[in-house]
Structure 1
């Protein structure tokens, strides 16, 4: 299981040793699964490309290796501002309980299935109680202002 915060800013390399960029975000499908990793490339103008999870060969502590580097079809170029970030959105249960603000996402790297959301209930609560994690089984509804989840 991985979290986005562990992957953020990690360099991504091809098997041939070419640096493609650094992880800057995750793309989440309508079905609530992580299906691509977004990389930023530092050029004169910021550019972003996406890598699908099935192209990732290995996750390391200091970088990520991508297979099939010869086939550029999997490296999709895209405008840098492509969607809204899920960090900072309200996390609300199907029962209407407001859990707090999303801080991180836990997902299975092989399938892209999101298994939980780390959230904050406020600064003092974080200090006194520590991390809060809401585990989910079913895909979340990710809206403009909030993420609606079924908690178990």
Structure 2
């Protein structure tokens, strides 16, 4: 398991050519917490952010993401569904029991980038200093909206 902050900025390489296609900018996630793919920042003056679907990702290593081919990055603007992890960070996290757990500061994902498995939250500067940030792991699919994220906590 790893956090999004460890993945952000990771280089993305083509398996066939070894060419660097860009760096990870964000993850595209569904409203239930499934990861659809990655948004990458493509280098160059006129290059825009691109999207690589999960089917095109061959490996998620410690130092790099490896994709099949070079034709997969598609324009980010063409996507209608899904949110980015950047949109999720800063939202309130609630349990399905109705308790506010804090504001999301980071996202935990499975090593293969399959699904969001947990959230790191803050309850304010002083609470972070005295108690530290808290981590909550969900047991099943979460619910992500424009307002908040709801998770079922592990017992």
Q: Does the alignment reach a TM-score above 0.5?
A: yes
- Residue matched to 2:75: 77
Distance in 1 between residues matched to 2:100 and 2:111, nearest whole Å: 28
- TM-score normalised to structure 2 length: 0.84
For residue 104 of structure 2, the aligned residue among 78, 102, 105 is 102
C-alpha deviation, 1:80, in angstroms: 9.4
Determine if the alignment matches structure 1 residue 9 to structure 2 residue 5.
Answer: no
Distance in 2 between residues matched to 1:95 and 1:18, nearest whole Å: 48
For residue 115 of structure 2, the aligned residue among 113, 116, 128 is 113
Distance in 1 between residues matched to 2:110 and 2:43, nearest whole Å: 28
For residue 90 of structure 1, the aligned residue among 77, 89, 92 is 92
Q: State the SS of the aligned residue for 1:128.
A: helix
Structure 1 range deviating more: 137-146 or 43-52: 43-52
- Residue matched to 2:53: 52
- TM-score normalised to structure 1 length: 0.85
Unaligned runs of 5+ in 1: none
Q: CA RMSD in A?
A: 2.3
Equivalenced residue count is 149
Distance in 1 between residues matched to 2:148 and 2:77, nearest whole Å: 24
